[in-house]
């Protein structure tokens, strides 16, 4: 099965861009900010919140990082103009973290400062492990000035429970996810159940501390266990929300919403949709396989 999946993933990598585009539609709001706004309005009309992510992969210099930040500033303006139930998610390397920590700090400072003025919030996504410490440092520095900034922890990292214990003292607003990057087994759990165990242990230590957490997963087992934990610990609804990626497990999304829990969808948009789509497709070869089947049978191409 793994071999088949690997083959599918390799095929995805050489898929022509327009083909990936057709099948990636459900994972991305579109190329333009107005596409994202329209989609968020649809979600909001169902009582579902959003977090907007301006797609952009790697930046090469400070000018590009500054440009990326300016796009994010515009997103904050547009959220307010359109009265959207949405906040902003950012990738720290896009803000320049891989070039210069102080520069990245100044950039994100501007975003969080602007968000503060309009009563909004900035979530700092967590990238791969070379940036874990730097990202936590960035967050800690911002936390000295602002309360409207949050961090992401990845349950697959062996360090995560300890990070949560330390960060709990800062009144941290978390998103807890499994983690999406390929990390060495020296620092990351590889076993599915181990990752789930780490997720639940970390979730519990966060919930017990009274800090806010975005429970970001499509794993039904984890969602059910979270429900159970929330009830058992008697956690008030103002202390957590569920989060999912656009286009993934919409049935579960609607169930959580119908159960009366707050749910937020991660809405990526922008011209750099291709790299993002390839990442999503590689993450779920089952979907890639489905795509290939469609391509080769030339069926249902336009219906997705
Ligand atoms: C809101 C949000 C923000 C995130 N932010 C970050 C971040 O900052 N840093 C980071 O490293 N990771 C981030 N992630 C990704 C996360 O780490 C996981 O890689 C991803 O959510 C898959 O893990 P899962 O918990 O859904 O469990 P899985 O066991 O991977 O998935 C459970 C089920 O969900 C479905 N599913 C999952 N992924 C997909 C997909 N791409 N397409 C279709 N179906 C799918 C499948 O049915 C699968 O069986 C984020 C995820 C979410 C939901």
| Ligand 1 atom closest to 280 (CA) | 41
Rounded CA separation 260/8 (Å): 38
Looking at residue 294, its pLDDT comes to 46
The whole-model pTM stands at 0.91
| C-alpha of residue 145 to centroid of ligand 1, in Å | 31
| C-alpha of residue 247 to centroid of ligand 1, in Å | 11
Contacts of residue 220, Cβ cutoff 8 Å, sequence gap at least 6: 252
Looking at residue 33, its pLDDT comes to 96
Rounded CA separation 98/100 (Å): 6
Told to judge if 175 belongs to the known catalytic residues of this protein, a careful annotator would answer yes
Longest distance between any two alpha carbons in the chain, whole Å = 57
| C-alpha of residue 217 to centroid of ligand 1, in Å | 6
Place of tokens 């975003």: 111
Looking at residue 63, its pLDDT comes to 97
Token readout for 162 is 């300890």
Kindly list the protein residues whose Cβ atom lies closer than 6 A to any atom of ligand 1: 125-126, 152, 154, 175, 177-181, 216-219, 243-245, 248-249, 266, 280, 283-284, 287
Residue to probe by mutation, ligand 1, list 50, 121, 177, 220, most atoms within 8 Å of CB = 177
Q: Which 3 state secondary structure label does DSSP give 128?
A: coil
Told to judge if 123 belongs to the known catalytic residues of this protein, a careful annotator would answer no
| Ligand 1 atom closest to 178 (CA) | 17
| One-character DSSP codes across 177-246 | E---S---TTTB--SHHHHHHHHHHHHHHHHHHT--EEEE---HHHHHHHHHHHHHTT--GGGEEEEEET
CA torsion 142→133→239→250, rounded to 10°?
Answer: 110
Q: Which 3 state secondary structure label does DSSP give 94?
A: coil
Residue to probe by mutation, ligand 1, list 8, 87, 213, 217, most atoms within 8 Å of CB = 217
Closest CA to 124 of 157, 96, 99: 96
Q: Determine contact, residues 280/271, Cβ cutoff 8 Å.
A: no
User: Helix/strand/coil (H, E, C) string of 146-194?
Assistant: CCCEEEEEECCECCHHHHHHHHHCCCCEEEEECCCCCCCCCCECCCHHH
Out of 175, 196, 253, 280, the active site residue is: 175
**CB-facing half-sphere around the CA of 81: CA atoms within 13 A:** 10
The Cα-based distances of 266 to 54, 148, 233, 280 in angstroms read 11, 18, 27, 13
| C-alpha of residue 295 to centroid of ligand 1, in Å | 25
H or E stretch covering 125: none
Looking at residue 219, its pLDDT comes to 96
Q: Which 3 state secondary structure label does DSSP give 101?
A: helix
Looking at residue 136, its pLDDT comes to 98
Q: Determine contact, residues 218/249, Cβ cutoff 8 Å.
A: yes
Looking at residue 19, its pLDDT comes to 72
Strand stretches in 32-131, DSSP E: 49-54, 86-90, 122-124
How distant is the alpha carbon of residue 80 from its chain centre? 21
pLDDT in tens, the chain (304 residues): 455 556 656 666 667 777 777 667 778 899 999 999 999 999 999 999 999 999 986 789 999 999 999 999 999 999 999 999 999 999 999 999 999 999 999 999 999 999 999 999 999 999 999 999 999 999 999 999 999 999 999 999 999 999 999 999 999 999 999 998 889 999 999 999 999 999 999 999 999 999 999 999 999 999 999 999 999 999 999 999 999 999 889 999 999 999 999 999 999 999 877 777 777 677 666 666 554 554 443 333 333 2
Residue to probe by mutation, ligand 1, list 5, 126, 159, 248, most atoms within 8 Å of CB = 248
Which 8-state DSSP code applies to residue 302?
Answer: G
Looking at residue 181, its pLDDT comes to 87
Looking at residue 214, its pLDDT comes to 98
């Amino acid at each position: 099965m793994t071999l088949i999946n690997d083959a599918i993933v390799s095929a995805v990598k050489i898929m022509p861009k327009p083909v990936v585009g057709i099948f990636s539609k459900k994972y991305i709001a579109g190329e333009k900010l107005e596409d994202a706004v329209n989609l968020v309005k649809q979600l909001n009309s169902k009582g579902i919140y959003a977090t907007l992510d301006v797609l952009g992969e790697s930046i090469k210099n400070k000018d590009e990082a500054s440009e990326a930040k300016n796009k994010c500033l515009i997103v904050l303006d547009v959220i307010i103009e359109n009265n959207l139930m949405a906040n902003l998610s950012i990738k720290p390397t896009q803000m320049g973290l891989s070039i210069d920590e102080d520069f990245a700090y100044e950039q994100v400072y501007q975003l969080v400062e602007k968000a503060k003025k309009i009563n909004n919030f900035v979530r700092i996504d967590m990238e791969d492990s070379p940036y874990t410490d730097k990202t936590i440092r960035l967050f800690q520095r911002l936390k000295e000035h602002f309360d409207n900034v949050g961090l992401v922890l990845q349950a697959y990292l062996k360090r995560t429970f300890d990070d949560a214990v330390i960060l709990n003292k800062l009144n941290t607003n978390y998103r807890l996810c499994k983690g999406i990057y390929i990390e060495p087994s020296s620092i990351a759990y590889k076993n599915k159940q181990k990752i789930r165990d780490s997720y639940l242990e970390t979730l519990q230590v966060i919930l017990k501390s009274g800090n806010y957490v975005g429970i970001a997963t499509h794993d039904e087992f984890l969602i059910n266990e979270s429900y159970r934990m929330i009830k058992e610990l008697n956690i008030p609804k103002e202390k957590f929300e569920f989060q999912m990626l656009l286009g993934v497990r919409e049935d579960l999304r609607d169930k959580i919403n119908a159960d009366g829990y707050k749910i937020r969808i991660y809405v990526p948009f922008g011209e750099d949709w291709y790299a993002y789509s390839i990442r999503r497709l590689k993450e779920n070869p089952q979907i890639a396989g489905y795509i290939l089947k469609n391509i080769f049978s030339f069926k249902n191409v336009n219906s997705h």
